[in-house]
Structure 1
Amino acid sequence: MHMPPRIAAAAAAVLCALVTTTAAPLPARAATALAFGPCPDSVPTPPAPDRVECGHLTVPLDHHDPSGPRIDMAVSRVPASGTPAERRGILLVNPGGPGGSGLPYAVTKRAKLPASVRRAYDVIGFDPRGVGRSAPVDCGAMGGLFTAPGRDPVPVGPRAERAYLAAQRHMADDCARGAGTRTLPYLSTEQTAHDMDAIRAALGEPRTSFLGVSYGSYLGAAYAARFPHRVGRMVLDSVVGPWDWYDFDVVQSRAMLRARDTFFAWTAAHPDRFGLGGDADAVRGSYLRVRRQLAARPVDGFGAAEFDRAVYRALGRTERWSGLADGLRTQLTDGRVDGLRPTAAFDGPESRNYEAANRIVKCADGPGPTPGEIVADLRGLRRLGPQPVLTGLEATACAYWHHRPDRRTPLGGPAAPPVLLVASAHDPVTPIQGAYAMRDLLPGSRLVTLDDDYSHGVFASRGNACVDGAVGAYLVDGTIPEADVRCGGPGLPAVS
């Protein structure tokens, strides 16, 4: 796969709100113990006898200035279910993003972990800074991102390209107003890694064991770079490549085109079930016809932008492919978009917070692209596929960001202990070459690959005994495999 050249070469109003809603500026002080109590309704209740409890920890907005303003971090905990002799400490978990809420994840992810891991660890969830109940950020209109129907996200021609860039500029301006230019630099992955260590200290633990999925893998690598001596057992699942965020987004967009081609061929193999054509080209034609129709005549606020978001979501998990194919057929036969429209509202409060935090974190983590690079990559993606899925090109707004970091977030390093990486061989959301590149930054680490798999999220997610056994044994026993592990995957999904 061709890599972008840069990979190959490799607080204003809301600041006041962040401070006044948590605490006034305080002098530097040691981390205090976390006091746990009941959780908000957004955190599910685990089945008895397990229990979940929640608390908060006050941390510096800037960990390099501990006497400055402070913010609240929301934390959840499900205690280990085993005996004291079985306990291995704490296992922090992160669901991805940037922008994903981790507070309920301590419950939902723990329920899928092997029993031996549940017995060994207190599973700790937390909302990263800027997310959920940890000083959440809001970017307002975000350059029209939440307008329905949205502008066609694939610009064709110089005029449309200029409009695309203008929307990115407006998004950057909206985030500067909403989050505050003085706050933007401190909502970074590196600062969140410091928050993780503050949680560890407040819990009185000598080491942080960690399970990070997708963006969580990037966060774990940042923690390993900054606190290598505090790393316990670390699992990085569905690994984000250690590149500038914009370069990663371009790699992902290319992988989405490959995944879409696989989806077309899979759908064509079942013409009687889906009725979209008997070969991949015919299915592609049906897909493009749906998109053209929705771009020209949106249905109930569902147009080209909303369609592309639905496709992006569906391509990342093969269990959603049948629903996508059915939705395409329904739109062609009777014009309805029910099967394509996601069940959750895209413009709800949680989604707005997610999309804002996503851009703010990415743009705080390192240098952004130039407008010229963006246009060149847009044209390159259109050459690969006339209607590419550009939903994941989130770091384009960094070209106009009001804070311009001059260095990339440090990741991994020779001082970090070996960790375990996990990847799906054909994951379009975090392509596997990112896992290879991240492994190089973590000497002695091993990669567990789920072959013949096309989905995002692997450990305690795909139900693969080989993966779950290897990772579970590492978390409980601490033994790194002697070599990389290859596990047989499920192949393309069955048709129901």
Structure 2
Amino acid sequence: MTRPARRTALLCALAAATALLPAAPVRAAEPRSPLRFTDCPDSVPRPAAPERVECGRLSVPLDWHRPRGPRIEVAVSRVRASGTPAERRGILLVNPGGPGGSGLPYAVTKRAKLPESVRRAYDVVGFDPRGAGQSTPVSCGPMGGLFDSPGSDPVPAGAPAERAYLSSLRALADDCATHAGRLLPHLSTEQTAYDMDAIRGALGEPRTSFLGVSYGSWLGAAYTARFPHRVGRMVLDSVVGPWDWYDFDVIQSRALLRQRGTFFAWTADHGERFGLGGTPGAVREAYLRVRRGLTARPVAGFGPAEFDRAVYRALGRTERWEGLADGLRGYLTDGAPDGLRPATAFDGPDSRTYESANRVVKCADGPGPSARDIVTDIRRTRRLDPHPVLTGMEASACAYWHHRPGHRTPLGSPDAPPVLLVASAHDPVTPVEGARGLRRLLPGARLVTLDNDYSHGVFASRGNACVDDTLAAYLVRGTVPSADVRCTGPGLPTVR
């Protein structure tokens, strides 16, 4: 069976298996004590007065299947609803994605972008998922050289490079086993879903409403699988498909190729502005000259791995395309990669925790690939384009994981109330087919698509009134569209 056929069969099997799951437990995952809030750490921004953010810590079992065993703490933040008591609809948990993204500041930053009616209706509650941020952060140490500067070329070409690539994945898995220790098997999305319900219980709320972006969509789907009768209103934005993580990473890598081709064509259409050529082929050759130059001679720790990370980041949001094109031209003009460097340092402490949690969670959620799968898929991708962007292939390390999970994280439930899924039509980070796949596990779900859009993150992010009004009506009034909704997107970015 071909890998695409296997993915299709897996999706069907997941749908069938989910339909046969026993009813999710409705007994509360109650903590030992209620959440008590106080001031937040300096890493959490302050909202505009008179509103305030408050933070607390919740003790939860390390393993929810052994609730009397060791415990860990989950960091929680909250900004209360700004409306009247009659307007209040409960709590809205939020998650920014990852796996590994910190949700503690997200309660403030995302809330500021939400429609006013949503801010008036909900206490917006952020939390650092277990293993991330300030919730028992996980460390994988050197991660097999992932933080080396400059890093080795992340696109192996030829058998010796492929063997070296696999060796680096094995070293990453070994480092995670050495440094993460007892945490390694217990940082799955399923365990975090139980933490979410503990937060609900500690706040004394009967239902959990939820806004999850990117990986947050996977987390929301996992919560519905375990606690369908506790789901209030749920928005899953920029949806990760219901595949194994490794299969998702492969799908994403192919979508990035399509997006990069669109970027080349867009840059060529503005040839006078960027000076990289007037055809997509000319822009592609300029791009490859930059990458070849940085491979042959890295500059101040910036080599091919750092270049690919910058490209990966830029391709996901069209407002970054102009900066990427300017950075390419800057390097070709003066040999300096400064314009290509991301705003945040990859080797900072937050990045190290994020990258560790990302691999640990993915590998705890289900089976990993074989070494043969990895090599075969890289070769297939390189036949599509010899120079792909493989930065998002985090789950490849799961081939050598020390703690193989006994089952896949379950997603979705036929008993869940209607959920709204949101997708950008040309999002390369979470391609739209992921939303179409997940909706099969969420009966009654509606898909809100932003057509003619090429960015990751849609609701209260793209400034689209059609999307934002549809989602606000659902969250505040419970209005479920009678059918899927298609909104008109902004198209490719304009150039200053």
TM-score under structure 1 normalisation? Answer: 0.95
Q: Does 1:447 align with 2:447?
A: yes
The residue number in structure 1 matching 2:473 is 473
Residues 204-353 of structure 1 aligned to structure 2 (within 5 Å): 204-353=204-353
Structure 1: which amino acid aligns with 2:380?
A: G
CA shift for structure 1 position 112: 0.2
Structure 2: which amino acid aligns with 1:473?
A: A
Residues 49-64 of structure 1 aligned to structure 2 (within 5 Å): 49-64=50-65
Contact 1:57–1:75 under 8 Å retained in 2? yes
Contact 2:414–2:442 under 8 Å retained in 1? yes
2: CA distance, partners of 1:415 / 1:118: 28
Structure 1: which amino acid aligns with 2:99?
A: P
Contact 1:3–1:251 under 8 Å retained in 2? no
SS at match of 1:298: coil
2: CA distance, partners of 1:30 / 1:76: 17
CA shift for structure 1 position 7: 1.2
2: CA distance, partners of 1:30 / 1:174: 32
- The Cα offsets for residues 267-315 of structure 1, whole Å up to 9 and x where unpaired, read as 0001100000110001000001110010010011100000000000000
TM-score under structure 2 normalisation? Answer: 0.95
CA shift for structure 1 position 5: 4.2
- The Cα offsets for residues 12-54 of structure 1, whole Å up to 9 and x where unpaired, read as xxxxxxxxxxxxxxxx975421100000000000001111000
CA shift for structure 1 position 368: 0.2
Structure 2: which amino acid aligns with 1:230?
A: R
Alignment: residue pair count:
477
The residue number in structure 1 matching 2:13 is none
Contact 2:221–2:412 under 8 Å retained in 1? yes
Contact 2:239–2:435 under 8 Å retained in 1? yes
The residue number in structure 2 matching 1:106 is 107
SS at match of 1:339: helix
Contact 1:62–1:68 under 8 Å retained in 2? yes
- The Cα offsets for residues 135-194 of structure 1, whole Å up to 9 and x where unpaired, read as 0001010000000000000000000000000000000000001101x3211100000000
Structure 2: which amino acid aligns with 1:495?
A: V
The residue number in structure 2 matching 1:184 is 184
SS at match of 1:447: strand
- Relative to structure 1, is the Cα distance of residues 29 and 459 closer, same or farther in structure 2, using a 3 angstrom cutoff? closer
- The Cα offsets for residues 214-243 of structure 1, whole Å up to 9 and x where unpaired, read as 000000000000000000000000000000
Percent identical residues: 77
Q: Which runs of 5+ in 1 are unaligned?
A: 11-27
CA shift for structure 1 position 407: 2.0
SS at match of 1:82: coil
The residue number in structure 1 matching 2:14 is none
1: CA distance, partners of 2:274 / 2:180: 46
SS at match of 2:88: coil
2: CA distance, partners of 1:9 / 1:349: 40
Contact 1:424–1:454 under 8 Å retained in 2? yes
- The Cα offsets for residues 448-488 of structure 1, whole Å up to 9 and x where unpaired, read as 00000000000000000000000000000112100000000
- Relative to structure 1, is the Cα distance of residues 480 and 397 closer, same or farther in structure 2, using a 3 angstrom cutoff? same
The residue number in structure 1 matching 2:132 is 131
- Relative to structure 1, is the Cα distance of residues 323 and 29 closer, same or farther in structure 2, using a 3 angstrom cutoff? closer
The residue number in structure 1 matching 2:414 is 414
1: CA distance, partners of 2:364 / 2:279: 45
Contact 2:210–2:233 under 8 Å retained in 1? yes
Contact 2:138–2:183 under 8 Å retained in 1? no
Contact 1:6–1:247 under 8 Å retained in 2? no
Structure 1: which amino acid aligns with 2:356?
A: A
Structure 2: which amino acid aligns with 1:85?
A: A
Q: Does 1:147 align with 2:148?
A: yes
The residue number in structure 1 matching 2:428 is 428
SS at match of 2:332: helix
2: CA distance, partners of 1:137 / 1:30: 22
2: CA distance, partners of 1:92 / 1:393: 28
- The Cα offsets for residues 51-101 of structure 1, whole Å up to 9 and x where unpaired, read as 100000000000111100000100000000000000000000000000000
2: CA distance, partners of 1:335 / 1:361: 39
Contact 1:31–1:201 under 8 Å retained in 2? no
Contact 1:290–1:331 under 8 Å retained in 2? yes
Contact 1:448–1:487 under 8 Å retained in 2? yes
2: CA distance, partners of 1:289 / 1:337: 13
Structure 2: which amino acid aligns with 1:258?
A: R
2: CA distance, partners of 1:305 / 1:484: 40
Contact 2:30–2:201 under 8 Å retained in 1? no
Contact 1:218–1:411 under 8 Å retained in 2? yes
CA shift for structure 1 position 339: 0.4
2: CA distance, partners of 1:490 / 1:454: 9
2: CA distance, partners of 1:362 / 1:492: 32
1: CA distance, partners of 2:32 / 2:459: 32
Structure 2: which amino acid aligns with 1:120?
A: A
SS at match of 1:4: helix
SS at match of 1:285: helix
- The Cα offsets for residues 329-348 of structure 1, whole Å up to 9 and x where unpaired, read as 01011101010011211000
SS at match of 1:75: strand
Structure 1: which amino acid aligns with 2:210?
A: F
SS at match of 1:183: helix
- The Cα offsets for residues 355-396 of structure 1, whole Å up to 9 and x where unpaired, read as 000000000000000000000000011011110000000000
1: CA distance, partners of 2:476 / 2:128: 25
Q: Does 1:364 align with 2:364?
A: yes
The residue number in structure 2 matching 1:490 is 490
1: CA distance, partners of 2:404 / 2:37: 38
SS at match of 2:339: coil
The residue number in structure 1 matching 2:119 is 118
SS at match of 1:225: helix
SS at match of 1:265: helix
1: CA distance, partners of 2:415 / 2:402: 34
CA shift for structure 1 position 6: 3.4
SS at match of 2:147: coil
- The Cα offsets for residues 113-147 of structure 1, whole Å up to 9 and x where unpaired, read as 00000000000000000011100001010000000
2: CA distance, partners of 1:420 / 1:29: 27
Contact 1:4–1:247 under 8 Å retained in 2? no
